[in-house]
Amino acid sequence: MKKLIEGLKEFQTGYFSSHRELFEELSHGQHPRILFITCSDSRIDPNLITQAQVGELFVIRNAGNIIPPFGAANGGEGAAIEYAVSALNIDQVIVCGHSHCGAMKGLLKLSSLEEKMPLVHNWLKHAEATRQVIKDNYSNLEGEELLEVTVAENVLTQLENLQTYPVIRSRLHQGNLSLHGWIYRIETGEVFEYDVISHDFIPPQSRIINPEPEYNFHPSCPVGSSSDSKVPTTPQPKSNGNGVKPVNNGNGNKGSSLPGYEHFPPEQAQRIYRGSH
């Protein structure tokens, strides 16, 4: 506590004093352009890793950077999303996972948490879609490799969950919003962004000159150990066998027959549906 109090004094006499005009301006309102959704982990500092100024990021943090599908929870995540987009007119959303994530470690052994940490157990159940994808598709992996894949898949799951929010879907449809999936590696300081064309997590700066990404994300994204992480495509079954019949959504693409999820491919719709029921 002593260190924090000393830090307050240093902030007031140092940073605040030299940026007084900025704080005076911020006292009249905020105008962030980025909604940054990340983990509560103490090793993650959105402003530090992006070198963003005070007032540039609107931040949501929780265990596992989880966004429950619309209507699945009464927590503050939905309200913060709605406020960020509707009131602040934010037009960029980043979901940032990270290496060595304790929440994802817990998700991989979810049943063991029920007695010792029941609230954590109940919260991580909102990432059931991620857990199911890992269970069904990555049984050959273990240890750190399995954890890396889980972190990556969870980022994509949360990007999909974001699309279940009416305000997000509406802005995406208008072309006034874009979604980004990031992974921050604590041990190297590197950040990688998911690229929907190459199915890689690649350095974000290599994509700046390209158009904004589409918002229907690839269903599988294991992260390798190399700097540019190649994402092998998971073979898609001829019949998904999950009771979701493909329907034509009017533009030649086959979507889901689940009510409210018609715009998603069947596999993604089922993943989101499992996560919200």
Under the banding of pLDDT at 50, 70 and 90, the label for residue 190 is very high
Q: What is the pLDDT of residue 256?
A: 52
Tell me the pLDDT of the chain averaged across its residues. Answer: 81
pLDDT value of residue 204: 83
Tens-place pLDDT, residues 40-93? 999 999 999 999 999 999 999 999 999 999 988 877 999 999 999 999 999 999
Tell me the domains of the chain and their CATH numbers: 30-234 (3.40.1050.10), 236-277 (no CATH)
pLDDT in the model for residue 195: 87
Whole-prediction pTM value? 0.75
Show Cβ contacts of residue 267 under 8 Å, excluding neighbours closer than 6 positions: 219, 236, 240
Average pLDDT over residues 108-114: 93
Strand ranges, E, within the chain: 34-39, 57-62, 92-98, 178-184, 191-195, 200-202, 247-248, 254-255
Amino acid identity of residue 8, one-letter, is: L
In this prediction, residues 91-117 reach a mean pLDDT of 95
